[in-house]
């Protein structure tokens, strides 16, 4: 139980501090620490594969996207506009945030979770692969196609038509 | 709490004493402590052994590299400290420890300090799953290959922290350049491992080594490098590993001769040494990974050589790969940034994807025998060579080979 408490602290405190900081890069780095905390929770719960995937995808890749986005859009380190411009925007923000929170809480509370003391059987990577490839093949393929299309779209958006000179190439 | 699975891999009685002594030593020392502490002591001994041994390897490697580069460039290399310059690493260490540690006034002090520490910590973490010998796996994980990449992924974060916290536009630009390179080469690196995982059917390092046991015709080891797809994957891996560990000819994040060492510009003293150490640790860990996945791990190359302990075979293979890296550094000129990313995205990634198909073919035709075996080899080799030649020709059309006219 102490382990779970420490993991919860590592996950929630950086997330809370990240919202309060004015330095956006610091916020982003704390957010990454929070993601690592979630990975630690997966590991604590026995989902080894999921924990490593979380680190690989969130700490390794999505963190880079976040940091690049921050660096490419901000001009100085501390120009984060924290105060809302108008009362209407503040209200809209509160409303949307509250709605998301409500939906999440509703989903969590209405899901029947098996509560018991017996630990779940450890799932090996092999078992996970068989499960994905046999029972959820369609879902896996659909996700794969979706990601490929997204990737192609990004390449099309980013590619420029200008021909390169002979000295630019290779 | 969950105990780490298999942290106490028991030594089996079948192995010789030479093979078993590291495990016996660990268990004996751990036996002096009360039972609840034994797993902790056992893990600490493993950690201490890794840090001590690879710290020593790092020191020896810096000297070896300088000596070998010296010979490549027709000069003696370091030869003033001790016999043949053998004490040079110690002199370097004292120099690094006593140098002034300069931090720019406007730098982000905490991140500036954390970056080298995080980088070194994450590169040491990758050692945890590498099997150094028959029983010498510090941490036996079911998803060990994934763990290796997860631990390695965080190094990108440390490089970003170093470049950003320095508050120096050259450092930041260099960090972005380094990140572009690391992200580009992560993909071929991962893709070059996928055929191995496909054919071995496991993500566990021990399982992959077990798949490579035995010999064909009594003398050709069943290592994955001796198959067409394995060889192609190894070649892709080698290029990507050089780029991932910032080694020449892909060392343009640092490029000490023209780009003032990139994101390391504002680092001095021991923090700089930590970056240096992390780079070498990364190189050693990737070599260890290559040995496990392609070169049969700690297995002996020939049946009658099996009396030599497995960790010595691992060491010999590691030394061979490291020497190859140094040789490459002394031989090839540095790539340009656009050439670097082009090589990754237009050449290595498609080749790695083709190689996936080759591996699938190999897996589907595993039942073929007799003359069909020859056809299997022929088709697989063609599947490797034809895309390589066509892609290479297509990429260099109109540009290479260049003709130079001297006035």
For the segment A12-20, the average pLDDT, to the nearest whole number, is 89
How far CA B75 is from CA of B80, B87, B324, in Å, comes to 13, 18, 20
Domain ranges of chain A: 1-77, 123-160
Are residues B150 and A52, on separate chains, in Cβ contact within 8 Å?
A: yes
Distance (Å, whole) CA A41 – CA A9: 11
Q: Look up the pTM and report it.
A: 0.84
Are residues A56 and B149, on separate chains, in Cβ contact within 8 Å?
A: yes
- For chain B, the three-class secondary structure string (H helix, E strand, C coil) is CCCCCCCCCCCCCCCCHHHHHHHHHHHHHHHCCCHHHHHHHHHHHHHHHHHHHHHHHHHHHHHHHHHHHHHHCCCCCCCCCCHHHCCHHHHHHHHHHHCCCCCCCCCCHHHHHHHHHHHHHHHHHHHHHCCCCCCCCCCCCCCHHHHHHHHHHHHHHHHHHHHHHCCCHHHHHHHHHHHHHHHHHHHHHHHHHHHHHHHHCCCCHHHHHHHCCCEECCCEECCHHHCHHHHHHHHHHHHHHHHHCCCCCCCCCCCCCCCCCHHHCCCCHHHHHHHHHHHHHHHHHHHHHHHHHCCCCCCCCCHHHCCCCHHHHHHHHHHHHHHHHHHHHHHCCCCCHHHHHHHHHHHHHHHHHHHHHHHHHHHHCCCCCCHHHHHHHHHHHHHHHHHHHHHHHHHCCCCCCCCCCCC
Q: Alpha helix locations (H) across A21-124?
A: 24-44, 48-54, 63-73, 87-110
Where residue B37 falls among pLDDT bands split at 50, 70, 90? confident
Chain B hits for A25, Cβ within 8 Å: 164
Chain B hits for A55, Cβ within 8 Å: 150-151, 153-154
Where residue B6 falls among pLDDT bands split at 50, 70, 90? very low
Residues with Cβ within 8 Å of residue B91, at least 6 apart in sequence: B81
DSSP 8-state class, residue A76: S
Query: Which segment of A44-53, B24-33, B70-79, B94-103 scores lowest on mean pLDDT?
Result: B24-33
By the CB < 8 Å criterion, does B150 face chain A?
yes
By the CB < 8 Å criterion, does B339 face chain A?
yes
Give the pLDDT of residue B319.
92
Instruction: Indicate left, alpha or beta for B82 from its phi (over 0: left) and psi (-120 to 50: alpha).
Output: left
Where residue B11 falls among pLDDT bands split at 50, 70, 90? very low
Name the one residue in this structure whose structure tokens are 């550094």. B329
Where residue A168 falls among pLDDT bands split at 50, 70, 90? low
**ipTM surpassing 0.95, yes or no?**
no
Name the one residue in this structure whose structure tokens are 């080594």. B209
Min Cα separation B268/chain A (Å)? 24
pLDDT, greater one: A162 or B9: A162
Instruction: Indicate left, alpha or beta for B399 from its phi (over 0: left) and psi (-120 to 50: alpha).
Output: alpha
Write out pLDDT tens, residues B147-200.
Answer: 898 888 888 888 888 888 888 888 888 888 888 888 889 889 989 999 998 888
By the CB < 8 Å criterion, does B157 face chain A?
yes
For the segment B337-361, the average pLDDT, to the nearest whole number, is 88
Give the pLDDT of residue B10.
46
Q: Which of A51, A113, A125, A7 is nearest to B1 (CA)?
A: A7
pLDDT, greater one: B254 or B33: B33
Write out pLDDT tens, residues B286-326.
Answer: 999 999 989 888 888 887 777 788 888 889 999 999 999 99
By the CB < 8 Å criterion, does A91 face chain B?
no
How long, in residues, is chain A? 170
Write out pLDDT tens, residues B222-246.
Answer: 888 888 888 999 999 999 998 888 8
- For A95-163, the three-class secondary structure string (H helix, E strand, C coil) is HHHHHHHHHHHHHHHHCCCCCCCCCCCCCCHHHHHHHHHHCCHHHHHHHHHHHHHHHHHHHHHHCCCCC
By the CB < 8 Å criterion, does A30 face chain B?
no
Where residue B39 falls among pLDDT bands split at 50, 70, 90? confident
Chain B hits for A165, Cβ within 8 Å: none
Please work out, in degrees rounded to the nearest 5, the angle formed at the alpha carbon of residue A142 by the alpha carbons of A136 and A148.
Answer: 135
Name the one residue in this structure whose structure tokens are 């709605």. A99
For residues B125, B130, B133, B138, the Cα torsion angle rounded to the nearest 10 degrees is 40
Give the pLDDT of residue A138.
92
Where residue A141 falls among pLDDT bands split at 50, 70, 90? very high
Distance (Å, whole) CA B396 – CA B200: 35
Write out pLDDT tens, residues A66-103.
Answer: 888 888 776 665 555 566 678 888 899 899 999 999 99
Are residues A55 and B153, on separate chains, in Cβ contact within 8 Å?
A: yes
Where residue B270 falls among pLDDT bands split at 50, 70, 90? confident
CB B128 within 8 A of CB B139: yes
How far CA A42 is from CA of A36, A64, A157, B231, B252, in Å, comes to 10, 22, 36, 36, 37
Give the pLDDT of residue A150.
93
By the CB < 8 Å criterion, does B147 face chain A?
yes
C-alpha count within 13 angstroms, C-beta hemisphere, residue A80: 16
Which pair of tokens denotes residue B2? 């969950």
Q: Is the pLDDT of residue B101 over 80?
A: yes
Min Cα separation A49/chain B (Å)? 6
Chain B hits for A35, Cβ within 8 Å: none
Long-range residue pairs from B88-96, CB within 8 A, at least 24 positions apart, any chain? B88/B62, B88/B63, B89/B59, B89/B60, B89/B62, B89/B63, B90/B59, B92/B62, B93/B59, B93/B273, B96/B269, B96/B270, B96/B272, B96/B273
By the CB < 8 Å criterion, does B336 face chain A?
no
Are residues A56 and B150, on separate chains, in Cβ contact within 8 Å?
A: yes
Min Cα separation A36/chain B (Å)? 10
For the segment A117-136, the average pLDDT, to the nearest whole number, is 78
Distance (Å, whole) CA B359 – CA B100: 53
pLDDT, greater one: A126 or B358: B358
For the segment B352-357, the average pLDDT, to the nearest whole number, is 90
Instruction: Give the CATH number of domain A1-77; options: 1.20.120.1200, 3.30.1360.40, 1.10.150.120, 3.90.550.10.
Output: 1.20.120.1200
For the segment A15-26, the average pLDDT, to the nearest whole number, is 85
Where residue A143 falls among pLDDT bands split at 50, 70, 90? very high
By the CB < 8 Å criterion, does A90 face chain B?
no
Average pLDDT, rounded, for chain B: 84
Give the pLDDT of residue B365.
85
Give the pLDDT of residue A170.
44
Residue B221: φ, ψ to 5°: -65, 150
For the segment A136-154, the average pLDDT, to the nearest whole number, is 92
- Could you tell me what percent of chain B has a pLDDT over 70? 94
Chain A hits for B4, Cβ within 8 Å: none
Q: Is the pLDDT of residue B14 over 80?
A: no
């Amino acid at each position: 139980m102490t382990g779970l408490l420490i993991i919860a602290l590592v996950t929630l405190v950086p997330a809370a501090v990240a919202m309060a900081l004015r330095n956006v890069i610091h916020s982003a780095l704390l957010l990454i620490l929070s993601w690592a905390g979630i990975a630690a929770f997966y590991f604590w719960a026995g989902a080894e594969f999921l924990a490593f995937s979380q680190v690989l995808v969130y700490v390794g890749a999505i963190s880079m996207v976040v940091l690049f986005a921050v660096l490419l859009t901000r001009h100085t380190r501390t120009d984060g506009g924290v105060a809302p411009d108008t009362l209407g925007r503040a209200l809209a923000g509160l409303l949307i945030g509250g709605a998301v929170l409500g939906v999440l809480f509703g989903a969590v509370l209405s899901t029947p979770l098996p509560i018991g003391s017996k630990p779940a059987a450890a799932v090996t990577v092999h078992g996970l692969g068989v499960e994905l490839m046999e029972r959820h093949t369609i879902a896996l393929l659909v996700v794969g196609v979706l990601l490929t299309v997204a990737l192609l779209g990004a390449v099309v958006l980013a590619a420029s038509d200008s021909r390169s000179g002979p000295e630019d190439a290779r | 709490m969950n105990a780490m699975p298999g942290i106490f891999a028991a030594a089996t009685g079948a192995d010789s004493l030479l093979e078993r002594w590291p495990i016996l030593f660990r268990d004996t020392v751990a036996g002096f402590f009360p039972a609840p502490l034994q797993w902790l002591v056992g893990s600490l001994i493993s950690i201490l052994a890794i840090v001590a041994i690879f710290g020593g390897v790092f020191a020896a490697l810096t000297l070896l590299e300088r000596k070998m580069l010296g010979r490549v460039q027709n000069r003696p290399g370091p030869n003033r400290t001790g016999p043949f310059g053998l004490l040079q690493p110690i002199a370097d260490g004292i120099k690094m420890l006593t140098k002034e540690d300069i931090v720019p006034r406007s730098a982000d002090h905490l991140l500036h300090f954390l970056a080298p520490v995080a980088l070194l910590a994450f590169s040491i973490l990758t050692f945890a799953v590498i099997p150094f010998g028959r029983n010498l796996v510090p941490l036996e994980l079911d998803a060990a290959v994934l763990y290796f990449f997860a631990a390695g992924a965080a190094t990108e974060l440390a490089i970003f922290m170093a470049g950003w916290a320095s508050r120096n536009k050259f450092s930041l630009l260099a960090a972005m350049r380094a990140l572009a390179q690391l992200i580009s080469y992560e993909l071929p690196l991962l893709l070059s491992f996928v055929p191995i995982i496909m054919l071995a059917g496991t993500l566990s390092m021990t399982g992959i080594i077990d798949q490579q046991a035995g010999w064909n015709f009594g003398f050709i080891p069943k290592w994955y490098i001796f198959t067409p797809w394995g060889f192609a994957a190894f070649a892709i891996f080698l290029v990507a590993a050089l780029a991932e560990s910032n080694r020449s000819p892909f060392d343009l994040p640092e490029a000490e001769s023209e780009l003032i060492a990139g994101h390391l510009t504002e680092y001095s003293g021991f923090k700089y040494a930590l970056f240096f150490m992390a780079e070498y640790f990364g190189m050693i860990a990737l070599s260890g990974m290559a040995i496990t996945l392609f070169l049969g791990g700690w297995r002996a190359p020939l049946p009658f050589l099996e009396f030599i302990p497995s960790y010595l075979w691992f060491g010999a293979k590691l030394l061979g790969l490291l020497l190859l890296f140094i040789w490459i550094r002394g031989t090839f000129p540095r790539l340009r940034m656009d050439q670097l990313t082009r090589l990754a995205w237009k050449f290595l990634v498609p080749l790695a994807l083709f190689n996936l198909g080759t591996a699938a073919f190999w897996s589907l035709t595993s039942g073929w025998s007799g003359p069909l075996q020859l056809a299997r080899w022929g088709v697989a080799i063609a599947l490797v060579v034809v895309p390589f030649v066509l892609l290479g020709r297509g990429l260099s059309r109109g540009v290479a080979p260049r003709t130079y006219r001297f006035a």
